[in-house]
Amino acid sequence: MDLDMDMIMKKLDALEVGQTDIKRSFENKFDKFSGTFRKLEERIDQLDRMSREKNLILYGLQDSEKENWEYTTDLVIEFFKKQLGIENSGIDVADRLGKFKSGHSRPIRIKFSRVYDKRVAMKEKKRLADPFFLNADLNSADRQNNALLRKKKKEVLAADSKLKCSLGRGRLICTNEQGVKVRDFYVKDKEVVDHANMVMETL
């Protein structure tokens, strides 16, 4: 009887060990798959950003139902001449985003031949007045990150109105009256992180 019980206990121990090994193997494979999937997502985001690198989005320009990309391109080129003072805009093509809706103006995606031309346009966008607005062509993740950084900008300036804060390239940089950088925010895992404070704490 005791011998039978010993054999049963050994078999149960062997089953537990086997289940543990299976579980560990599954967890290792899952971790490996998750890591591969994250790398794939990061690569897709990188390629998406590269495809948008020469683009800008223009808001506020009057829309029409029968507008095509050729008409829109000519419209934007003329707009750049009159509103931004840019004669040679380097615009490759411009087209409306989304479906036409009466009473609304669809945004326009502008594709430039060179990144340089895009930067010239961004430098001159301060000339624009309401309802016109020119912005970078961001993907969904970058738009969400920018929304978080804009919220943080309001909080920082509410706490210290003497600071000057600028948002660009996924970072929110704040300088004091002497022009010294005192805050450097970016988004990591959907949380706003202050890189400047992290550096100070490390030092």
Give the separation between CA 121 and CA 136, rounded to whole angstroms.
Answer: 11
What confidence tens digit (pLDDT) does each residue in 20-54 have? 766 677 677 767 777 787 888 878 888 888 889 99
Instruction: Please write the tens of the pLDDT for every residue from 112-166.
Output: 999 999 999 999 999 999 899 999 998 888 889 989 999 999 999 999 999 999 8
What is the spatial distance between Cα 187 and Cα 21, in angstroms, rounded to a whole number?
A: 38
Tokens matching residue 161: 């109105």
d(CA 89, CA 190): 36
What is the spatial distance between Cα 180 and Cα 164, in angstroms, rounded to a whole number?
10
| pLDDT surpassing 90 at residue 12 | no
Residue 168's beta-bridge partner residues?
171
- Measured between alpha carbons, how far is residue 133 from residues 35, 36, 58, 173, 196 in Å? 39, 39, 6, 22, 31
Domain ranges of the chain: 1-51, 53-136, 140-202
Per-residue pLDDT, 31:
72
Please report the beta strands in the chain, taking only residues with DSSP state E, as ranges in sequence order: 55-59, 91-96, 108-112, 133-136, 164-168, 171-175, 181-188, 191-194
Q: How confident is the model at residue 105 (pLDDT cuts 50, 70, 90)?
A: very high
Residue 106, burial from CB neighbour count under 10 angstroms (0-12, 13-18, 19+): middle
pLDDT for the residue numbered 33: 72
pLDDT digits (tens, 9 = 90+) for 62-77: 999 889 999 999 999 9
Residue reference for tokens 């683009």: 55
Q: Decide if pLDDT at 16 tops 80.
A: no
The confidence score (pLDDT) of residue 11 equals 66
CB 134 within 8 A of CB 56: yes
- For the segment 81-96, what is each residue's pLDDT rounded down to a tens digit? 999 999 999 999 999 9
Q: CA-to-CA distance for 38 and 32, rounded, in angstroms?
A: 10
pLDDT of residue 202: 40
pLDDT surpassing 60 at residue 199: no
CATH classification (class only), 53-136: alpha beta
Query: What pLDDT score does 106 carry?
Result: 95
Q: How is residue 196 written in tokens?
A: 């400047």
User: Using 50, 70 and 90 to split pLDDT, how confident is the model at 78?
Assistant: very high
**pLDDT grade, residue 201 (50/70/90)?**
very low
Is the confidence at residue 198, as pLDDT, over 60? Answer: no
